[in-house]
């Protein structure tokens, strides 16, 4: 798929750094608002706030986990400078409606394609509907290349503005690169679906004691240094290789999801809705369950990989930390409801037949 070549043009330290530079190139700054969906991760508001703007959250649809176009009117204001549209788990947002509303209001769309490398909407690949799109390559994303992100610019003038800034970015410091590279090697060596819970516990522990690169920077006043960095060079090479074999990922994901969606038939589990006119290539396969904490506990005991995110409307923030990123509790009821019920299953090429069967029986025996 040659389309993926464009993904390697502008490579940043992380996905959020790519988003930050897109927003800056759009002229987003102090006093502006950027609309994004709730049921996202802190990386997104982190980039918006680093650009000096205020994130404003739009609620989602409960069965697709993507932005609810009907809720957009209420959150767009005269200060809205950009709209970030996330294709959650690979499910495309309702782009016909979203694009129409954004056009009417004259607001540029930036697509968050961190979960969606291959999905199409109305025959068009996601990532081509807005002025720009961004991607992430850390673990849990379709292509894993350590840590890193990409910006794709669909607008010529935006592209030349990013090009200029990009040429002046720094390479990550050596020690930092080494630490992240070791982390990646550890992940490659130890992680497989059946060891998910153990590896996760180990990584959390190493993160807490400061040995590992955490996923979440503390929110401060200053723009974190990461926002001036390019992707680690050895990860750029991994990414090129990942991109070259991307079609294998797509095919594998579709096969695994076919099994999950036919095999899991428990009345206690809700499957996602595939929007009309879309081909969905999932990055993980989401399910809604009624008693999430007990299902998670059981999965941990039985060694079945289920991810819990997003467990909060701006994962993993809770309480006062949510307010720091301008999320008002109660403002996005669908997102909050889904956080309490969602789990997701892996679909990557390391997921074998045994893992698939185990996950299917696990859910059918709930």
Shortest Å, Cβ 88 to ligand PLP: 7
Half-sphere exposure at residue 297, Cβ-oriented, CA atoms within 13 angstroms = 4
By CB under 6 A, the count of residues binding ligand PLP is: 15
Cβ-Cβ contacts under 8 Å for 349 (sequence gap 6 or more) = 248, 249, 252
The single residue among 21, 81, 115, 230 that binds ligand PLP, judged by CB under 6 A, is: 115
x/- track of binding to ligand PLP for residues 143-162 (CB under 6 A): ------x-------------
* Cβ distance to ligand PLP smaller for residue 116 or 360: 116
Angstrom distance (rounded) from CA 134 to CA 156: 16
Shortest Å, Cβ 84 to ligand PLP: 9
Shortest Å, Cβ 143 to ligand PLP: 12
x/- track of binding to ligand PLP for residues 116-145 (CB under 6 A): --------------------x-x--x----
- Residue 305 in contact with residue 196, Cβ under 8 Å? yes
Cβ-Cβ contacts under 8 Å for 195 (sequence gap 6 or more) = 303
Sort strands 33-37 and 80-86 into parallel, antiparallel or unpaired.
Answer: parallel
Q: Is 14 in the site for ligand PLP (CB under 6 A)?
A: yes
Structure token pair of residue 325: 């990123």
Angstrom distance (rounded) from CA 35 to CA 238: 33
CA 116, 121, 124, 130 dihedral sign is negative
* Cβ distance to ligand PLP smaller for residue 103 or 225: 225
Shortest Å, Cβ 90 to ligand PLP: 11
Which range touches ligand PLP (CB under 6 A), out of 57-65, 112-120, 253-261, 263-271? 112-120
Strands (E), the chain: 10-12, 33-37, 40-41, 54-58, 80-86, 109-112, 120-121, 124-125, 132-136, 149-153, 269-270, 278-279, 284-289, 314-315, 342-346
Q: In Å, what is the CA distance from 327 to each residue of 28, 35, 84, 116?
A: 19, 12, 16, 25
* Cβ distance to ligand PLP smaller for residue 112 or 305: 112
x/- track of binding to ligand PLP for residues 72-91 (CB under 6 A): --------------x-----
Shortest Å, Cβ 197 to ligand PLP: 21
Half-sphere exposure at residue 290, Cβ-oriented, CA atoms within 13 angstroms = 5
Shortest Å, Cβ 34 to ligand PLP: 13
Which residue number places its CB atom closest to ligand PLP?
A: 15
Q: Is 114 in the site for ligand PLP (CB under 6 A)?
A: yes
Shortest Å, Cβ 205 to ligand PLP: 20
The single residue among 4, 11, 15, 33 that binds ligand PLP, judged by CB under 6 A, is: 15
Cβ-Cβ contacts under 8 Å for 231 (sequence gap 6 or more) = 11, 12, 13, 147, 148, 149, 150, 172, 239
Q: Is 226 in the site for ligand PLP (CB under 6 A)?
A: no
x/- track of binding to ligand PLP for residues 33-52 (CB under 6 A): -------xx-xx--------
Shortest Å, Cβ 65 to ligand PLP: 10
Shortest Å, Cβ 343 to ligand PLP: 16
Cβ-Cβ contacts under 8 Å for 346 (sequence gap 6 or more) = 193, 196, 284, 305, 307, 355
* Sites of contact with ligand PLP (CB under 6 A): 14-16, 40-41, 43-44, 86, 112, 114-115, 136, 138, 141, 149
């Amino acid at each position: 798929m040659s389309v993926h070549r464009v993904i390697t043009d502008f490579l940043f330290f992380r996905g959020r750094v790519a988003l930050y530079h897109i927003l800056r190139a759009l002229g987003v700054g102090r006093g502006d608002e950027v609309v994004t969906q709730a049921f996202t991760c802190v990386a997104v508001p982190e980039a918006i706030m680093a650009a000096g703007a205020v994130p404003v959250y739009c609620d989602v649809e409960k069965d697709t986990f993507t932005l609810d176009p009907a809720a957009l009117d209420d959150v767009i204001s005269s200060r809205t400078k950009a709209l970030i549209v996330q294709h959650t788990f690979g499910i495309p947002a309702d782009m016909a409606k979203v694009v129409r509303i954004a056009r009417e209001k004259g607001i540029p769309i930036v697509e968050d394609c961190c979960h969606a490398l291959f999905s199409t909407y109305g025959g068009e690949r996601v990532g081509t509907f807005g002025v720009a799109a961004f991607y992430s390559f850390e673990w849990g994303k379709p292509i894993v290349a350590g840590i890193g992100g990409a910006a794709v610019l669909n607008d010529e003038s935006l592209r030349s503005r990013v090009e200029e800034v990009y040429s002046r970015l720094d390479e990550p410091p050596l020690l930092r690169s080494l630490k992240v590279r070791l982390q990646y090697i550890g992940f490659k060596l130890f992680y497989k679906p059946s060891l998910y819970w153990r590896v996760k516990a180990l990584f959390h522990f190493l993160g807490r004691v400061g040995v590992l690169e955490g996923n979440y920077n503390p929110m401060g006043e200053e723009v974190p240094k990461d926002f001036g960095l390019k992707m680690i060079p050895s990860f750029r090479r991994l990414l090129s290789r990942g991109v070259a074999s991307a079609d294998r990922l797509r095919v594998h994901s579709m096969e695994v999801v076919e099994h999950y969606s036919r095999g899991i038939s428990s009345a206690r589990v809700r499957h996602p809705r595939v929007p009309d006119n879309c081909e969905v290539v999932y990055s993980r396969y989401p399910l809604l369950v009624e008693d999430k904490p007990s299902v998670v506990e059981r999965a941990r005991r039985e060694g079945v990989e289920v991810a819990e995110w997003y467990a909060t409307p701006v994962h993993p923030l809770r309480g006062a930390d949510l307010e720091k990123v301008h999320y008002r509790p109660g403002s996005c009821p669908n997102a909050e409801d889904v956080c309490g019920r969602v789990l997701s299953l892996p679909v990557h090429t390391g997921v074998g037949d045994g893992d698939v069967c185990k996950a299917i029986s696990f859910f059918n025996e709930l």
